[in-house]
């Protein structure tokens, strides 16, 4: 079995990159080193500009209804199923539920003290006809129906989890050691009631975990498993039922994350960030989203974001610099999630303002705006507040 070793800092010497422990946390049976996935790929990304109109196809717009109960301050995470759009706002400690016409349905807003209440939300996802909410600090999983009614509460048994998912009846958690300084593992797979740690993995030293360089989305699930990354890393991993695989190594303009940057980060995070921006260094990833066909990666090099769409069905991929390239109807927004095999982008106000401007000038034609729902978006976007969601397919070939 292939073993991957790294050296970080003065005190962290030649440690096996991954430990896989079977059995309980306190008395593991044996260790197993990290292995590469059979389809492991090394991607050489270049910071070139790419027009969004060459990437995004079949755009559909959803204008979210704004009212006193459903006004969203910010989008931390978005999840969908066939009929529901669920948006988590960490600032508001709530999850807003809409249908695909944009109509507000209800809100999960149980912030408070006492039974059936939470202090905050760390993460959530939709599974079949349930919404599963990880409370903050991650002491419980609250289960709601699709109308936002509380069904039940499951204790996590003091497993401090930053992000979580379900995988074939088991829980997968990306741990948060901000609360538990003794935990030695980044990713754990539990049984259905958080009692048995079936597998647990360490894939990054603790000094580089859960720091101030916080990302929005570390994990994304598709039919293959769960893709995830760690802070200040250039590798992407995949969790399956019983394995933790190194799937991608990302190089930006031929470069990985330099060791001198990591040393600076350990001594002074602000100094390290300024140093990386000044030297235009690859800092790491910020978001990852996976459909069954395409993997989207967002990262940072220096003061700029880079993006990459990777085909999971072929060897093709597209890398490009900013997603703010000019397209036919304005500026593109930020990719914030997936819906089936489509990506979701938040359409900022400039998109809608520019649509209105084009409409007034009589410039909306089949040549530059082919989406038949555009005029409906213009007509319905009259109340400033909630964002417009743009659903689109990705054309990599």
How many CB atoms sit inside 10 A of residue 300's CB? 20
User: Is residue 323 scored above 90 in pLDDT?
Assistant: no
Average model confidence (pLDDT) for the chain?
Answer: 77
- Highest mean pLDDT, choosing among 147-156, 190-199, 246-255, 332-341: 147-156
Q: What is the mean pLDDT of residues 43-71?
A: 79
Residue 227 and residue 290 in contact, taking contact as beta carbons nearer than 8 Å: yes
Give 56's pLDDT tier (boundaries 50, 70, 90): confident
Q: What is the mean pLDDT of residues 295-312?
A: 87
Say if residue 299's pLDDT is above 50. Answer: yes
Q: Is the pLDDT of residue 303 over 60?
A: yes
Q: Which has more confidence, 235 or 338?
A: 338
Mean pLDDT across 40-65: 79
Q: Say what the pLDDT of residue 28 is.
A: 36
φ and ψ of 161, to 5 deg: -110, 135
Confidence of residue 202 (pLDDT cuts 50, 70, 90): confident
**pLDDT for 131:** 98
pLDDT score of 325: 38
Confidence of residue 65 (pLDDT cuts 50, 70, 90): confident
What distance in Å separates the CA atoms of residue 120 and residue 133, rounded to the nearest whole number? 10
Res 105: pLDDT? 95
Stretch 133-151: mean pLDDT: 91
Cα dihedral 201/203/309/82 (nearest 10): 30
Residue 340's pLDDT is what? 93
φ and ψ of 269, to 5 deg: -65, -45
The model's confidence at residue 292, banded by pLDDT at 50, 70 and 90, is very high
Residue pair 346/389 in contact by the 8 Å Cβ criterion = yes
pLDDT tens by residue, 243-265: 888 899 998 888 888 777 777 77
Q: When comparing pLDDT for 339 and 348, which is higher?
A: 339
Average pLDDT on 140-167 reads 92
**Which pLDDT score, from 0 to 100, does residue 326 have?**
40
Dihedral sign (CA 119, 120, 122, 128)? positive
Residue 331 confidence (pLDDT) above 60: no
> What is the per-residue pLDDT across 154-178, written as a single tens digit (0 to 9) for each?
999 877 788 899 999 999 988 765 4
Is the pLDDT confidence value at 289 over 90? yes
pLDDT score at 230: 75
With contact defined as beta carbons under 8 Å apart, do 180 and 143 qualify? no
In this prediction, residue 20 has a pLDDT band, given cuts at 50, 70 and 90, of: very low
Structure confidence at residue 16 as a pLDDT band (50, 70, 90): very low
pLDDT at 305: 79
Q: How far apart are the first and last CA of the chain?
A: 35
Does 225 have pLDDT greater than 60?
yes
Q: Two tokens at 150?
A: 């509380």
Query: What pLDDT score was predicted for residue 25?
Result: 36
**pLDDT range class, residue 286, cuts 50, 70, 90:** confident
Please compute the mean of the pLDDT values over residues 309-322 and round it to a whole number: 84
What is the structure's pLDDT at 284? 82
- Quote the pLDDT of residue 256: 85
- Domain borders along the chain are 17-53+156-342
- Phi and psi of 267, rounded to 5°? -90, -35
CA dist., res. 230 & res. 235, Å (int): 8
- Please name every residue paired with 236 in a beta bridge, in sequence order, or none if there are none: 248
Q: What is the CA radius of gyration of the chain?
A: 22
């Amino acid at each position: 079995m292939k073993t991957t070793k790294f050296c970080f800092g003065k005190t962290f010497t030649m440690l096996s990159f991954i430990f896989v422990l079977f059995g309980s946390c306190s008395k593991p049976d044996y260790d197993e080193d990290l292995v590469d996935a059979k389809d492991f790929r090394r991607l050489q990304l270049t910071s070139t500009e790419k027009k969004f109109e060459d990437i995004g196809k079949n755009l559909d717009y959803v204008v979210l209804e704004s009212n006193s109960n459903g006004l969203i301050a910010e989008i931390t995470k978005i999840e969908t199923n066939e009929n529901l759009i669920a948006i988590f706002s960490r600032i508001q400690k709530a999850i807003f539920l809409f249908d695909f016409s944009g109509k507000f349905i209800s809100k999960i807003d149980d912030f408070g003290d006492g039974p059936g209440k939470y202090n905050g939300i760390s993460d959530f996802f939709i599974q079949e006809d349930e919404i599963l909410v990880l409370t903050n600090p991650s002491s419980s999983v609250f289960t709601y129906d699709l109308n936002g009614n509380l069904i039940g509460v499951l204790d996590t048994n003091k497993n401090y989890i930053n992000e979580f998912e379900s995988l074939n009846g088991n829980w997968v958690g990306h741990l948060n050691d901000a609360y538990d300084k003794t935990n030695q593992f980044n990713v754990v797979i539990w049984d259905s009631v958080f009692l048995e740690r079936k597998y647990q993995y360490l894939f990054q030293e603790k000094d580089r975990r859960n720091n101030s360089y916080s990302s929005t989305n570390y994990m994304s699930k598709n039919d293959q498993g769960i893709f995830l990354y760690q802070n200040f890393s250039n590798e992407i991993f995949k969790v399956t039922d019983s394995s933790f695989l190194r799937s991608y190594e990302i190089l930006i303009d031929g470069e990985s994350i330099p060791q001198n940057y990591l040393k600076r980060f350990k001594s002074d995070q602000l100094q390290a960030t300024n140093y990386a921006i000044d030297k235009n260094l690859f800092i790491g990833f910020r978001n990852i989203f996976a459909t069954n066909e395409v993997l989207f990666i967002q990262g940072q090099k220096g003061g700029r974001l880079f993006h990459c769409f990777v085909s999971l069905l072929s060897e093709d991929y597209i890398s490009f610099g900013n997603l703010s390239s000019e397209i036919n109807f304005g500026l593109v927004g930020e990719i914030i999630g997936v819906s089936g095999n489509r990506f979701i982008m938040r359409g900022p106000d400039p998109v809608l303002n520019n649509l209105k401007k084009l409409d007034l000038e009589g410039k909306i034609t089949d040549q530059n705006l082919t989406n038949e729902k555009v005029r409906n978006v213009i007509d319905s976007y009259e109340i400033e507040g909630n964002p417009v969601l743009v659903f689109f397919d990705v054309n990599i070939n």
